[in-house]
Structure 1
Amino acid sequence: MKKINLLALLCLVSFSILAQQKNFEIVGDIKNLPAKQIYLRALNRDKNRKITQPIIALAKVSNGKFILQKDTLLADPAWSAELSYKDSITNKIEIISFYNPDKSPDERGYLHGGFILENTKMQVNGDFKLKKAVLLSGSKETEYQMKTGLMFAPSLSPINKKIDSLQALGASDQMQSALAERSEIIKKYKAEFKQMVIENPSTWGAVLNIYQNAHSFSPQELEEFVAIFDKSVMSTATGKKLLNHIQQNKLLLPSMPFPDFSYADVNNKKFTLNQLKGKKGTLIVFWASWCGPCRAEIPELKTFYTNYKDKGIDLISISTDHSVVDWKKALDKEKMPWANLSNLPGDYKEIISKYNVTAIPAMFLLDKDNKIVLADPNDFKLIQKHTNQILQGI
């Protein structure tokens, strides 16, 4: 089952007023820079929750020199910040590229169009006559981004499908080999993440990588990572979200009661879980209109609904959309015959936080008492297997 990570979309610029910390400052010296002003942009979300990249600071350029700063502080480092300028010769807006000093020009990852904006003093140096890229120094977060970047746990869908097909064929020896292969995949990526944390205990980017892959680790494994991280990065907004995720995850384990909700349908009528649950069980699906894998799995969900609706298993889809218009448009096109709810025009992040939805689609299978049977297994075959077991009283 393919998924789209939600947390990587949350690394937007936000400001704090923590007086004991220093704010950001970018001191530039770019020779032969054809510009009178320099602009600093960072990812943000507008009032319609669309991703934008507004100017958050600007400075005059004099002989290639400039200083960008802001009195307020960043609550979290900002991913994919940009420096841009209006070329005084062509009148075109140009984005400044940064080069990785640890790579050669012919290597992948040598040039970067953005950097990590953090509460520290950074320097930008270069000469446009020599090359149209500059060196940014003083930002350990940008160094981490260039070296490691965003990490993702591998999808287990291919190996899970292989195991299912071998099981159906009764090929026990080959299935055992495939199970061992899956265990090795899991063991390998968990070791890679742990080594990454050990090597970067005071780097916010490392916390971000653990947070956005939190669904791939148990609460105990996540707590081991937290114990390694420095308090300075755990006190960031992302660090606090990771701690909240761990606590919430302990409430979302199998046999635990699924947290109730009161969300609205397209007619703005609110429903709770008990009003919509199936007599024998319920499948909760978290999705969004913009999520390709979510839309791709809808035919499979329709088959599931048809096969089980008369047997006492119901289905509820909960949207993590940013726009009520986009959500309703998708519902009109997809015509899903089961309950579809959202908290719009509320904040979708409330749903993400409450149910630890780090990637979508995400599914929870519940029994007749709303207790969790499966917590986001990322394996639809496994969901069907346990649904049948619920019906059989196993």
Structure 2
Amino acid sequence: MRFSLISAVLAPSSAFRTGIRGAHFLANVPLKSRNGAVDIKTLENKPLVLYFSAGWCRSCKMFTPKIGKFYKGNKDEGFNVVWVSRDRAAEDQVEYYEKAMPDWAYIPFGTPEIQEFIKKYEVKTIPAVKVVNDAGDVIDDGARMKIEKHELEPKDVIAEWKKLI
């Protein structure tokens, strides 16, 4: 597939859709946090945890504090989290983020890439956790259990992810 300036203008998520070499797979996906827009450079060259969940999901409400603790206790180890909401309305997403989420990035409600990521990462149930590299390739599909079960030290889990990027 050829890349041109026209395709970049016409397809805002062209890095994801065309697989431009060297571009972070989230380069053209809007990302927010409590501090406003998220600079994609802060996510580059680090393992990225995609966390799929929703405020209406009971299992998510039980898992969110666990992944939140994992993140807060280890965020300086060189990884990031992006929350991919499955909430049914923008207001629900914002309410759940403000109430339950650490200050990690999220994809705003209604962003078309949310559905693309659900399909690409075969998310059938939530909560779901996929650890990916800058190209969006899954490097750990079992991260939820690692976080939930505490079988390994978090620093060891993150070190393993770093080896895989």
Give the TM-score taking structure 1 as reference length: 0.29
Distance 2:116 2:136 in 1: 21
Report the AA paired with residue 372 of structure 1: V
Amino acid at match of 1:340: Y
Cα distance per residue 1:126-147 (max 9 Å; x no partner):
xxxxxxxxxxxxxxxxxxxxxx
- Does 2:32 align with 1:265? yes
Match of 2:95 among 315, 319, 329: 329
- Alignment of 1:314 onto 2:80: yes
* Structure 1 residues 133-181: Cα deviation after superposition (integer angstroms, max 9, x where no partner): xxxxxxxxxxxxxxxxxxxxxxxxxxxxxxxxxxxxxxxxxxxxxxxxx
State whether residues 317 and 341 of structure 1, in contact with CA within 8 Å, keep that contact through their aligned partners in structure 2: yes
Correspondence 1:41-60 to 2 at 5 A: none
Q: Give the direction of change, closer, same or farther, for the CA distance of 1:305–1:286 in structure 2 (3 Å limit).
A: same
Once the two structures are TM-superposed, the CA of residue 371 in structure 1 deviates from its matched residue by 4.3
Q: Give me the whole-angstrom Cα distance separating, in 2, the residues matched to 1:369 and 1:308.
A: 23
Q: Aligned equivalents of 2:37 and 2:137: distance in 1? A: 22
2:10 corresponds in structure 1 to none
Distance 1:354 1:271, change over 3 A: farther
Residue 388 (1) aligns with residue 159 (2): yes
Count residues with an aligned counterpart: 135
**Aligned pair in 2 of structure 1 residues 341, 388: CA closer, same or farther (>3 Å)?**
same
Pair 354,368 (structure 1): closer, same or farther in 2 beyond 3 Å: closer
Give the secondary-structure state (helix, strand or coil) at the position aligned to 1:300. helix
Alpha-carbon distance in structure 2 between the residues aligned to 1:284 and 1:299: 15
When you count helix as a share of all residues, which structure comes out higher?
2
CA distances 1:161-217 after superposition (whole Å, capped 9, x unpaired): xxxxxxxxxxxxxxxxxxxxxxxxxxxxxxxxxxxxxxxxxxxxxxxxxxxxxxxxx
Q: CA separation in 1, counterparts of 2:138 and 2:88? A: 27
* Partner SS state of residue 357, structure 1: coil
CA 299–278 in structure 1, closer or farther in 2 if over 3 Å, else same: farther
| 1:67 corresponding residue in structure 2 | none
Q: Secondary structure at the match of 1:262?
A: coil
Q: Identity over aligned residues, as a percent?
A: 19
* 1:287 matched residue in structure 2: 53
Q: Secondary structure at the match of 2:30?
A: strand
User: How far apart are the structure 2 equivalents of 1:291 and 1:266?
Assistant: 21
Determine the structure 1 residue equivalent to 2:17: none
How far off its partner does 1:285 sit?
0.8
Amino acid at match of 2:82: I
SS at the partner of 1:360?
Answer: coil
The alpha-carbon distance between structure 1 residues 345 and 367, as it changes in their structure 2 partners (threshold 3 A), is closer
Report deviation, 1:314.
Answer: 1.6
Q: Give the whole-Å Cα distance in 1 for the aligned partners of 2:42 and 2:107.
A: 11
- Match in the other structure for 1:363: 129
Q: Check 1:371–1:386 CA distance in 2 against 1; reply closer, same or farther (3 A cut).
A: farther
User: Where do 5+ consecutive residues of structure 1 fail to align?
Assistant: 1-256
Structure 1 letter corresponding to 2:60 = C
1:323 Cα deviation from its structure 2 partner? 0.3
Q: Which has the higher contact order (CA 8 A, sep 6+)?
A: 2
Shift of 1:295: 1.8
What is the aligned partner in structure 1 of residue 104 from structure 2?
Answer: 338
Q: Distance in 2 between matches of 1:376 and 1:300?
A: 15
C-alpha displacement at 1:346, in angstroms? Answer: 5.3
Aligned 8 A contact 1:281 1:367 in 2: yes
CA contact (8 A) 1:281 1:370 kept: no
Cα distance in 1 for partners of 2:161, 2:115 equals 31
- CA 280–266 in structure 1, closer or farther in 2 if over 3 Å, else same: closer
Contact conserved, 2:93 with 2:109, CA < 8 A, in 1?
no
SS of match in other structure, 1:359: coil
Aligned to 1:217: none
User: In structure 2, which of residues 56, 62, 66 is the aligned counterpart of residue 300 of structure 1?
Assistant: 66
Deviation at 1:329, TM superposition (A): 1.1
Letter in 2 for 1:265: K
Greater Rg over alpha carbons, structure:
1
